Amino acid sequence: MSTPCRRRLMRDFKRLQSDPPDGISGAPCPDNIMLWNAVIFGPDDTPFEDGTFKLVLNFDETYPNKPPTVRFASKIFHPNVYANGELCLDILQNRWSPTYDVAAILTSIQSLLHDPNPNSPANAEAANLYRENRKEYIRRVRETVEESWE
Amino acid sequence: MYKYESDSDNFMDEDDEFVDYSEEEHDFTDSEFAMDDENSDDNDTEDAGIAHDDRPRRYAETQATQPTQTQNTFSADAGDFEDDFYGIDGAEFEPVISSRGAKRPWEVDFKVYDPDELQAKQEAIVARMEPVLATSRDATTLLLRSYLWKDEPLVEDYLTDPERTLTKAGVAVDQTRPCIQSGDSAFECKICFSEGSDEEYFAPSCGHRYCTTCYKTYLVGHVLGGASWRIKCPTPKCNMLVGEEGARLLLAGDEESLARYNTNLTRSFVNDRDSFVWCPAPNCKYAIECHVPRSALRTTVPSVACICGNQFCFGCQLSDHMPAPCHLASRWLEKCRDDSETSSWIKVNTKECTKCKSTIEKNGGCNHMTCRECRYEFCWVCMGPWSEHGQHFYNCNRFNEESSKEARDSVSETRAQLERYIHYFTRYNNHEQSAKLARKLLATTEKNMEQLQRELTLSWIEVQFLSDAVDVLSICRSTLKWTYVLAFYMKPDNQMIIFENNQSDLEMATEQLNDLVENPTNHGAIEDIKRKIIDKTTYVKSRWETLLSDTTLGLQENRWQFVD
């Protein structure tokens, strides 16, 4: 069945395949276009470097008027990611615009790895370490990076 | 326009005049002088003549009564207050109560609006500002809304730097009108990615075009979420607002969303402004305008009455709490929520050890008490030391002995405070309960009135004295109730004694009137009762007025000290 949402997701998929942004890949499940798996590679020159972080994106028929729910499937130690993998990102909540597509969502998350925002912490421990003990913060992040290879 | 007075027996009966007065109210300041000419040319309607003649006079009256009031009320923070009071549409705001000539000291000016009038009010302000800013109607509306209808800062900013003011507010500088178009083969909607010359798209002034279906879905989503003028272009980082003109273009035909959009606009008009509140009664559609600034709430109690009958405080939207100011009223209600049940139980069931002040509940046994905390032994009846009691275990006849008295005197400060609270609370509560009974009384009174009419062949108007009496009773109950709150927080001094005298005069008279109304047959023949009730009603009302005038002035003069 073709709906505006499904047509749009097909277009998002085509765009992601033909013009993939650096360090990002994603695809819908073969049997369900509303459920996507994606991988973000930890950006260079950050503690997340070399990590391969898996994400799950869940769309419903309101897309692109409403954002999908996005969750990290891999364990990640980051000030703006909750323990269950859900993340705190403005464009996935109140700053959502229907012009954003899957590529835009994933690049935004990638840049969140680059620049955490310790002022709206989802993980208080990570936020505190990020601010006060950068060395320990890096050590904890590296742990999750190594786990992400398994 | 509704003109409402808090005093029920003083409704204006000059309806014609009022209608005229209000219809033209928005033009009043602008066209007052212009009308001179019009009238001399075209003097055919008498109504117009009256409205014209009457208006300046009444305006002058209002002004004559204002200055003293204003000085008294707001002298403490004249600085803050001027902005609020003379802000934006001071010229358009017309006092309601001034129709009586002299406003009573405790009354504040206010005006009730229904949604249509609110709409008209917005339109009137926009129409007034449009020529001043020389912007399109849509742009003027958006500018006013984003400046929360504060026209002075808007005019100042706009005249200094029009481009910056427009951009900051999210209004297109070139002010091209939004439109729905099609036929551009290069068009591609960045939301659904449909493309080609067949697609119909919405072209707002910021230039970000999307197909009408997507734009409308986007807009409706926000409208259903309660948004109105703050809806922005869907493009990230574009701050341009979707103006009213564009929104109406997109929503055309969708009556439900359009109605919702209008409701949201009106709602934000009231919510964005300090001088407006919605009537807090359930399902009430009216809004009230009143120009008492926040900074004056410690010395003024802006009690207003909605057309729906709800009498409430403009400052805090709680139900009317005259003469207690907002901060004391809310403190009291908070305290009652926390305390009243617990403290009455403590008062009834416990005493405090005279030595260590622990609270003790006696749940059985004889009067020989041994405190579990400090092992002090005392008598439950006289609170004196047990050692002086000898072997009289079961009764105490030493209540007046010196040592027992001393022990009782030493009852802790907290207990005294508790007693004090209970004292005021019982009286507060009593009036609240009586006010509820007064409402029931009204029903029986109506029956009594019918009966009187039948039995004594009196006319309808001749038995109105009963319902007048009940009206006065319930007003007084409400006021008395809150006088106890005021008194509870007052520091005792001579001024407080004067206040309490006023309070007890009113209370006594109210109780007497209550008795007369409730049991009329105990008081002799009908003519006699009628005279008594009418006399008493008048007296109670005058006591009530005295008390309110006095407390209003007292608060303004900082006559009383309140505990922190």
Domains of chain B: 10-169 (no CATH), 342-556 (1.20.120.1750)
pLDDT value of residue A54: 94
Q: Is position B306 annotated as part of the catalytic site?
A: no
> Which pLDDT band holds residue B413 (cuts at 50, 70, 90)?
low
- Interface probe for B, chosen from A7, A99, A101 (most Cβ of B below 10 Å), is A99
Higher pLDDT, B470 or A35: A35
| Beta strands in B219-374, from DSSP E residues, in sequence order | 276-278, 287-290, 303-305, 311-313, 350-352, 359-361, 368-370
Considering only the beta carbons, identify the residue of A8, A65, A100 that sits closest to B193.
A8
Q: Residues 199..218 of B with a Cβ closer than 8 Å to A: which?
A: 214, 217-218
Q: A106 φ, ψ to 5°?
A: -65, -40
pLDDT of residue B410: 63
Residue A26 has pLDDT above 70, yes or no: yes
B167-189 tens-digit pLDDT? 999 998 887 888 998 888 889 89
Q: Looking at residues B556-563, what average pLDDT do you find?
A: 88
- Helices B526-556 and B46-74: crossing angle in degrees, nearest 10, is 60
Contacts A100 to B, Cβ<8 Å: 236
Give the pLDDT score at B538: 93
Q: What is the pLDDT of residues A28-72, one digit of tens each?
A: 999 999 999 999 999 988 999 989 999 999 999 999 999 999 999
Question: How much is the pLDDT for B289?
Answer: 93
Helix or strand (DSSP H, E) at B191? none
pLDDT value at B258 more than 90 = yes
- A34–chain B Cβ distance below 8 A for any pair: no
Question: Where does B350-463 have alpha helices with state H?
Answer: 402-409, 413-456
Q: Give the pLDDT score at B522.
A: 62
Phi then psi for B241, rounded to 5 degrees?
-85, 145
Work out the percent of chain B whose per-residue pLDDT is above 70: 75
Say whether residue A98 is in contact with chain B using an 8 A CB cutoff: yes
- Per-chain mean pLDDT for chain A: 90
Instruction: Give the nearest chain A residue to B219 (CA atoms).
Output: A65
The closest CB to that of A97, out of B193, B217, B234, belongs to B234
Cα-only R_g, chain B = 33
The shortest CB-CB distance from A65 to any of B190, B193, B221 is to B221
Nearest CB partner across the interface for A99, out of B217, B221, B235: B235
Q: Which pLDDT belongs to residue B25?
A: 40
User: Residue B521 carries which DSSP code?
Assistant: G
Nearest residue of chain B to residue A7 (CA atoms): B192
The verdict on a CB contact (< 8 Å) between A98 and B191 is yes
**ipTM of this predicted structure:** 0.84
Give per-residue pLDDT as tens, B277-303: 999 999 999 999 999 888 888 888 999
Considering only CB atoms, which chain A residues are within 8 Å of B191? 8, 64, 98-99
Whole-angstrom Cα distance, residue B286 to residue B306? 7
Band the pLDDT of B73: cuts 50, 70, 90.
very low
Is A20 near chain B, with CB under 8 Å?
no
Distance CA B364, CA B366 (A): 7
Residue A67 has a pLDDT of 93
Kindly report the nearest CA distance between residue A142 and chain B, in angstroms: 34
Residue A65 to chain B, least CA–CA distance (Å): 6
Q: How far apart, in whole angstroms, are the C-alpha atoms of residue A59 and residue A45?
A: 32
Chain A residues near residue B234 by CB distance under 8 angstroms:
97-99
Cβ distance of A99 and B236 shorter than 8 Å:
yes
Q: Does A114 touch chain B (CB under 8 A)?
A: no
> Which residues on neighbouring strands pair with residue B207, listed in sequence order?
none
The answer to whether B242 faces chain A, any CB pair under 8 Å, is no
Decide which of B305 and B86 is more confident.
Answer: B305
- Which chain B residues are closer than 8 Å to A111 by Cβ? none
Asked if pLDDT for residue A93 goes beyond 50, the answer is: yes
Looking at the complex, report in whole angstroms how far the Cα of residue A62 sits from the nearest Cα belonging to chain B.
10
Residue of B217, B221, B234 lying closest to A99 (CB–CB): B234
The predicted structure's pLDDT at residue B96? 52
Mean pLDDT, rounded, for B115-135: 92
d(CA B348, CA B434): 23
Q: Answer yes or no: do A100 and B191 touch at CB < 8 A.
A: no
Contact A4 B192 (CB under 8 A): yes
pLDDT at B384: 78
Could you tell me if B477 and B431 are in contact, meaning their C-beta atoms sit under 8 angstroms apart? yes
Which one of B284, B366, B371, B382 is the catalytic residue? B366
pLDDT tens-digit series, residues B380-404? 777 777 777 665 545 566 666 676 6
- The beta-carbon neighbor of B217 closest among A65, A95, A97 is A65
Pure H helices in B457-493: 464-489
User: What's the rounded Cα separation, in Å, for the pair B178 and B180?
Assistant: 7
Q: Is A15 on the interface with B (CB under 8 A)?
A: no
Q: Which residues of B touch A98 (CB under 8 A)?
A: 191, 214, 217-218, 234
Q: In this complex, is the C-beta atom of B460 within 8 Å of any C-beta atom belonging to chain A?
A: no
**Exactly one of A88, A103, A104, A138 is catalytic; which is it?**
A88
> In a 3-state reduction of DSSP, which class is residue B211?
strand
Contacts of A11 in chain B (CB under 8 A): 193
* pLDDT of B44 above 50: no
Long-range contacts of B68-74 (CB under 8 A, 24+ apart): B69/B103, B69/B105, B72/B553, B72/B556, B72/B557, B73/B296, B73/B299, B73/B300, B73/B556, B74/B293, B74/B295, B74/B296
pTM of the model: 0.68
Q: With an 8 Å Cβ cutoff, is A64 touching chain B?
A: yes
| Res B82 pLDDT > 50 | no
User: Are the Cβ atoms of B221 and A66 closer than 8 angstroms?
Assistant: yes
How far apart (Å, rounded) are the C-alpha atoms in residues B242 and B556?
47
What confidence tens digit (pLDDT) does each residue in B352-375 have? Answer: 787 777 788 877 667 777 887 787
Give how far A137 is from chain B: nearest CA, Å.
Answer: 32
pLDDT of residue B93: 59
Give the A:B interface size as CB pairs under 8 Å. Answer: 29
Residues of A in contact with B235 (CB under 8 A): 97, 99
Dump pLDDT digits (tens) for B419-438: 888 888 889 988 888 888 87
Closest residue of A to B221, CA-based? A65
- pLDDT value at position B17? 38
A14 touches chain B (CB under 8 A): no
Q: What is the H or E stretch that residue B180 is in? A: strand B179-182
Residues of chain B in contact with residue A4, where contact means CB-CB under 8 angstroms, are 192
Chain A CB within 8 Å of residue B279 CB: no
- Identify which of B218, B235, B236 has the shortest CB distance to residue A65: B218
Higher pLDDT, B228 or B443: B228
Say how many residues make up chain A: 150
pLDDT value of position B480: 92
B190 to chain A, closest Cα gap in Å: 6
Quick one: which of A146, A149, A128 has its CA closest to A47? A146
